[in-house]
C-alpha cells in the first residue's frame, strides 16, 4: 500500500519537530549528563566548547558547499544518519575527557550544518511560495519545548542516564523521516548564480565585520546559560522538572516573539533591533546571576524572546537585505563565527568562570551587551552593504 508523499510544509514541519525535540533534550541537559559522569565544570566547558568549535569548522568549510537546491535533501539525509549513529555511540561513553571530547566534536560536526542546510531548503520552498517559513519553523520551536519538558520529567524520575537514549531516539526518528520525500523535490534554479562567493571577499566588507561582532556579543552571552544553567539551578535546589519548564518557558516566549515580530518590529531598523537585544542581555543575565528564586528566573527567561529571538530576527533581516549571491556565504559565516567559534571560546571561558564564581559568572555574560550599544551597523538598500 502506497501513501501520498507529504507536502513541503508537512515534510519540513515533521523534520523540524523531530530534530528540535532532540535539541531540546541536548541543549539544557547535556551538561547535567556530563556532570553525572563525574566531569568538573572546567572539563564540561572543554567538552562543550570543543563541540561548538567543531560546528565552526564544519559550517565554514562544508556548509557553503551545499549551495545547490538539489544537494540539500541528500545532505539532510546523510547528516541525520551520521547524527543517529554518533548519538547512540554516547551510550558507550566513559568518564574519559578525551573520549567525551571526541564524541562532542563528532556529534556537533554533523548537527552543526543541519540547521543552515534545512533552513536553506525551507527558504528554497519559501521563495516558490510552497510554504510559509515561519509556520514550518514554529513546529521546531514547539518540539524543543516538548523535548526539554519531557527530558526534565524523565530525568527527575530515572536520573541523568535517560538523557542519551532520549536524544538518540529522537535523532533516529529524524533520520527515518528524512528518508521520505516531499511532493515537490528541490529543483535546480536556472537563474541562480552557480559560483559560490568566496567567504574572504564577504569578510572584507566593514559592515559585515560589524554585523558579526554584534551578533557574537549578543549570542555569545548565552554561553554560560547553555552550559551551566541547568547545573546551577539544580544545585540551588530547583528540580529537574522545573529546569525543563524554565527552558521551555524561554522558548515559548521566543515562539511568541517570532509570531508577533512582523507586527511589533516591522518598521524597526536592524541596528535598533540589535540594541534592544543588547539591553535585554544586560538585564537578563544580571537577573540570572542575582537570584535562583523561581519568580526571578521566570522573569529572566521571559527575556529570551529578546536576547535570542529579536537578535536572530535582526540577523536574518540583515542577511536578507544583501545581494542574493552573498546570502549563502553570510549564512555560513553567521553559523560559523558568532554561533560557532565565539560560542565555543566563551563556553570554555564560562567553565573557568563557573568553577570560580558559580552563579556570579552570569554577570560576566551581562557585560557582553555593552559593546553592542556602541557599535554602529550601517545597512543600505538591498545588497549595498556587501557590494561595496
Number of Cβ within 10 Å of residue 218's Cβ equals 28
On the question of pLDDT at 16 being above 60, the answer is yes
Pair 176, 207 in one domain: no
On the question of pLDDT at 260 being above 60, the answer is yes
Pair 201, 335 in one domain: yes
Residue range 265-278, pLDDT digits in tens: 888 999 999 999 99
Pair 289, 338 in one domain: yes
Pair 119, 250 in one domain: no
Highest mean pLDDT among 60-74, 110-124, 343-357: 343-357
Cell of 210: 560589524
Q: What pLDDT, on the 0 to 100 scale, is given for residue 383?
A: 44
Average pLDDT, the chain: 88
Pair 202, 292 in one domain: yes
Q: What pLDDT, on the 0 to 100 scale, is given for residue 381?
A: 43
Average pLDDT for residues 255-261, to the nearest whole number? Answer: 84
Pair 155, 46 in one domain: yes
Q: What pLDDT, on the 0 to 100 scale, is given for residue 75?
A: 93
Among 186, 219, 247, the domain-final residue is 186
> How many domains, the chain?
2
Reported confidence tier of residue 379, pLDDT bands at 50, 70, 90: low
Residue 9: CATH number of its domain: 1.20.1250.20
Pair 323, 345 in one domain: yes
Number of Cβ within 10 Å of residue 223's Cβ equals 28
On the question of pLDDT at 382 being above 60, the answer is no
Q: Specify the range with the lowest mean pLDDT, choosing from 39-53, 119-133, 288-302, 338-352.
A: 119-133
On the question of pLDDT at 246 being above 90, the answer is yes
| Long-range contacts formed by 210-213: CB under 8 A, 24+ apart | 210/375, 210/376, 210/377, 210/378, 211/315, 211/318, 211/377, 212/333, 212/334, 212/337, 212/338, 213/371, 213/375
Average pLDDT for residues 82-99, to the nearest whole number? Answer: 95
On the question of pLDDT at 366 being above 50, the answer is yes
For residues 39 and 95, the answer to whether their CB atoms sit within 8 Å is yes
Residue range 193-235, pLDDT digits in tens: 445 667 788 888 889 999 999 999 999 999 999 999 999 999 9
* pTM to 2 decimal places: 0.82
Alpha helices per DSSP H over the chain: 8-37, 41-61, 69-89, 97-111, 114-127, 133-158, 163-178, 199-203, 206-220, 223-235, 240-265, 270-290, 294-301, 304, 311-320, 327-336, 343-357, 361-367, 370-374, 384-387
On the question of pLDDT at 248 being above 90, the answer is yes
Instruction: Name the more confident of 60 and 281.
Output: 281
Judged by DSSP in three states, 239 sits in coil
Pair 255, 378 in one domain: yes
On the question of pLDDT at 68 being above 80, the answer is no
Q: What pLDDT, on the 0 to 100 scale, is given for residue 196?
A: 62
Reported confidence tier of residue 385, pLDDT bands at 50, 70, 90: very low
Among 128, 160, 186, the domain-final residue is 186
Among 136, 159, 186, the domain-final residue is 186
Pair 107, 244 in one domain: no
Range of the domain at 229: 195-388
Reported confidence tier of residue 191, pLDDT bands at 50, 70, 90: very low
Highest mean pLDDT among 18-22, 127-131, 191-195: 18-22
Number of Cβ within 10 Å of residue 82's Cβ equals 17
Pair 303, 163 in one domain: no
Percent of the chain, pLDDT > 70? 93
Pair 155, 240 in one domain: no
Q: What pLDDT, on the 0 to 100 scale, is given for residue 128?
A: 80
On the question of pLDDT at 388 being above 80, the answer is no
Pair 22, 160 in one domain: yes
Q: What pLDDT, on the 0 to 100 scale, is given for residue 201?
A: 83
Amino acid at each position: 500500500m502506497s501513501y501520498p508523499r507529504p507536502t513541503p510544509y508537512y515534510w519540513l514541519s515533521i523534520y523540524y519537530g523531530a530534530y528540535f525535540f532532540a535539541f531540546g533534550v541536548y541543549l539544557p541537559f547535556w551538561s547535567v549528563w556530563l556532570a553525572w559522569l563525574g566531569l568538573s565544570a572546567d572539563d564540561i566547558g572543554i567538552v562543550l566548547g570543543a563541540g561548538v568549535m567543531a560546528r565552526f569548522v564544519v559550517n565554514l568549510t562544508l556548509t557553503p558547499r551545499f549551495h545547490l537546491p538539489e544537494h540539500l535533501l541528500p545532505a539532510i539525509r546523510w547528516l541525520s544518519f551520521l547524527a543517529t549513529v554518533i548519538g547512540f555511540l554516547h551510550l558507550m561513553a566513559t568518564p574519559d575527557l578525551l573520549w567525551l571530547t571526541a564524541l562532542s566534536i563528532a556529534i556537533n560536526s554533523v548537527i552543526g550544518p543541519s540547521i543552515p542546510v534545512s533552513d536553506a531548503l525551507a527558504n528554497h520552498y519559501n521563495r516558490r511560495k510552497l510554504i510559509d517559513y515561519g509556520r514550518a519553523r514554529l513546529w521546531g520551536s514547539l518540539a524543543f519545548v516538548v523535548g526539554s519538558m519531557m527530558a526534565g520529567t524523565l530525568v527527575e524520575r530515572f536520573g541523568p542516564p535517560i538523557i542519551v537514549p532520549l536524544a538518540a531516539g529522537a535523532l533516529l526518528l529524524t533520520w527515518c523521516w528524512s528518508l521520505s520525500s516531499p511532493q515537490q523535490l528541490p529543483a535546480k534554479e536556472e537563474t541562480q548564480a552557480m559560483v559560490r562567493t568566496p567567504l574572504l571577499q564577504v569578510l572584507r566588507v566593514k559592515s559585515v565585520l560589524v554585523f558579526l561582532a554584534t551578533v557574537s556579543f549578543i549570542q555569545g552571552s548565552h554561553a554560560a546559560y547553555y552550559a551551566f544553567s541547568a547545573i546551577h539551578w539544580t544545585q540551588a535546589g530547583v528540580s529537574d522538572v522545573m529546569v525543563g519548564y524554565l527552558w521551555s518557558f524561554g522558548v515559548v516566549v521566543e515562539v511568541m516573539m517570532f509570531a508577533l515580530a512582523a507586527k511589533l518590529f516591522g518598521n524597526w531598523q536592524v541596528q535598533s533591533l540589535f540594541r534592544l537585544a543588547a539591553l535585554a542581555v544586560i538585564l537578563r543575565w544580571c537577573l540570572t546571576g542575582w537570584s535562583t528564586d523561581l519568580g526571578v528566573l521566570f522573569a529572566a527567561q521571559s527575556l529570551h524572546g529578546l536576547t535570542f529571538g529579536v537578535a536572530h530576527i535582526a540577523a536574518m533581516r540583515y542577511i536578507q537585505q544583501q545581494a542574493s549571491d552573498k546570502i549563502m556565504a553570510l549564512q555560513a559565516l553567521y553559523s560559523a563565527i558568532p554561533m560557532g567559534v565565539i560560542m565555543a571560546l566563551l563556553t570554555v571561558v564560562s567553565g573557568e568562570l563557573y568553577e570560580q564564581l558559580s552563579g556570579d559568572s552570569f554577570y560576566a555574560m551581562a557585560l557582553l551587551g555593552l559593546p553592542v550599544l556602541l557599535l554602529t551597523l550601517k545597512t543600505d538598500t538591498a545588497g549595498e552593504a556587501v557590494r561595496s
